Structure 1
């Protein structure tokens, strides 16, 4: 994606662009070239279905990572769970149903994972699973169904007003982006994990400047070193991955947040964040059970 620059993967549009809702004229497959879970299962005769919110059901990213699965859009968690039950009951043979409930993540960002709003949303989802799936699904289907509940990440409460904002000389510090525009690659990631594409000759200088401004409130580490320490997984990352992540990583400690000054002086407002190394944002639930056992 070197000729495109930084991409908002979900919307598949150029990040920080004034042209909103303008889909890029490049192959989304450049983002992911692996074999999807659905395609792997289909090759063994297992039908795959994906239940998710309608806002993301039709975008390029969803079509890419759920290739081989029938995507079933829903308006809210309520109709999603009901549609899931109906789909499970009418589907014969081996099948895999992937369910994405994104409302809890949205609430967590807006109000924080320890908020009353978060607990209310969690209670709502729990109620829907219990009342509309477990209690109403027919017993024969329940005997043949396993339910697995997990998450892609946790979350941590933060105080946006304590965010450390860094001002960099972007033009002279960051690597150039696409050849036709010569714009710097903007900082990417989140206030809990910031990835920078720094010019090689400016790397050590930038690290020292950041250490002076941030102090002991964050780890500042080369991405290659982070990769060797296993922060991106157990296996060594590909060169393509390292090119996309840049060469310098800022990981705020505890519940600290760090971001960069923008031209419009915009400020972080979310009370919940994830992406860092706090145990609250790294640990995720994992529960599995036979659906029939939950009906008892």
Structure 2
């Protein structure tokens, strides 16, 4: 496995051990437009050219496999027992890119599916105050804090209120590129101008994707962009962390399914026309549930009024009248192990990315807090997780971008 230290490549983005997004450069936000630029002149190539070093990109079929939670450091370790990851390194190219802030699923997946940074789409975390419901919801499952379907509790509410994102499929369709989204059936996705492929398990989804590729190339359907989302690695990392046998087993299972269907079984004609890209929305930092901190037991809780913090334990967003006082209380409790950003500070830094939108303006917190290594939250169930993400550690922020033409990966 090629050893690359992202802290060297992104030294200009590292401050006191915290890693910041490379918006406009080697960043997850540039992935969809860059991939679409390979099959349409209507899109800009936003990633560095080195992301495709020695890769034949003269193809008609783009396949993006997003392995939720597989950070760069994990990829480097996991390649020892996951042949797919090693083969992408040896016969394709693998390089680190950054996630967005927050480096968590709700924000980052919305970015991948739209090409918009969080400030532009407005979905800033797993827990968000949704104005139309006047309540905090769990965003991607679209549930209340009591795990009830939000659309049933708040009559007439649907998940379009979660963000201002426009799916990349809308722009792709206008450019003459077919888009296909392979996502778990529980998402109940209805993606504009795309063909949705709901699935019950990722093995079946990959088999369907392979058959679709072969059929499309056989009849020369033209350029297509296929996006597959897999959550299994993220789920187990939350429960046991990234250095556990159960985590290793899940990485083996998911990556072997990708290798088997898209490398070993894809017919040669389709392989010649297909570019495979494997990436992730974020990595995981392993925490100790015994030392994660319930904010209700700290002095900062004196500053919390009716509106609970939003975001997540690694991306705590306070909505308070006295952000300076709350920041002082956080630093009193955690010293230099917490970085706090007032609204002025995170806007100046473009922490959530450049630009804005109406939903971002509604949800923009008064104060953001990111601990160096712990989870900080107000409810114990979240603090019991081992693997966490959302913050600015290298483990969370750096993710792999692995690419190769399938015909070359089959050799």
Structure-2-length-normalised TM-score? 0.61
Higher relative contact order, structure no. (Cα contacts within 8 Å, ≥ 6 residues apart): 2
- Counterpart selection for 2:363 from 240, 244, 267: 244
In 2, are the aligned partners of 1:158 and 1:271 still within 8 Å (CA)?
yes
- Please tell me whether the aligned partners of residues 207 and 261 of structure 2 are also in contact (alpha carbons under 8 angstroms): yes
Does residue 1:269 correspond to 2:399, yes or no?
no
Which residue of structure 1 aligns with residue 376 of structure 2?
258
> Take 1:87 and 1:163, find their aligned partners in 2: how far apart are those partners?
45
Distance 2:261 2:214 in 1: 13
TM-score (normalizing by structure 1): 0.84
CA distance in 1, matches of 2:329, 2:360: 26
Does the C-alpha gap of structure 1 residues 84 and 19 become closer, same or farther in structure 2, counting only changes over 3 Å?
closer
Q: Is this contact kept in 1: 2:313–2:382, CA < 8 A?
A: no
2:318 aligned residue: 196
Report the equivalent of 2:140.
10
> Cα–Cα, structure 1 residues 170 and 11, in superposed 2: closer, same or farther, change >3 Å?
farther
Question: What's 1:68 paired with?
Answer: 193
Q: Larger C-alpha radius of gyration, 1 or 2?
A: 1
Judging changes above 3 Å, is the alpha-carbon distance between structure 1 residues 73 and 2 closer, same or farther for their aligned structure 2 residues? closer
Partners of 1:32 and 1:26 in 2: CA distance: 13
Give yes or no for the alignment of 1:187 onto 2:306: no
1:146 paired to 2:265: no
Q: 1:75 to 1:2 in 2, by over 3 A?
A: closer
Q: Distance in 2 between matches of 1:19 and 1:81?
A: 30
The worse-fitting range, judged by mean Cα deviation, of 29-38 and 70-79 is 29-38
Contact 2:164 2:357 in 1 (8 A): no
Structure 2: unaligned runs, 5 residues or longer: 1-129
Q: Is the 8 A contact 2:169 2:192 kept in 1?
A: yes
Q: Deviations over 1:230-256 (max 9, x none)?
A: 3212x2444641431311111101x22
Report if the CA contact (8 A) 2:163-2:359 is conserved: no
How far residue 207 of structure 1 moved from its aligned partner, in angstroms, is 2.5
Offset at 1:170? 9.9
SS at the partner of 1:208?
Answer: helix
Paired with 1:97 and 1:208, the residues of 2 have a C-alpha distance of 47
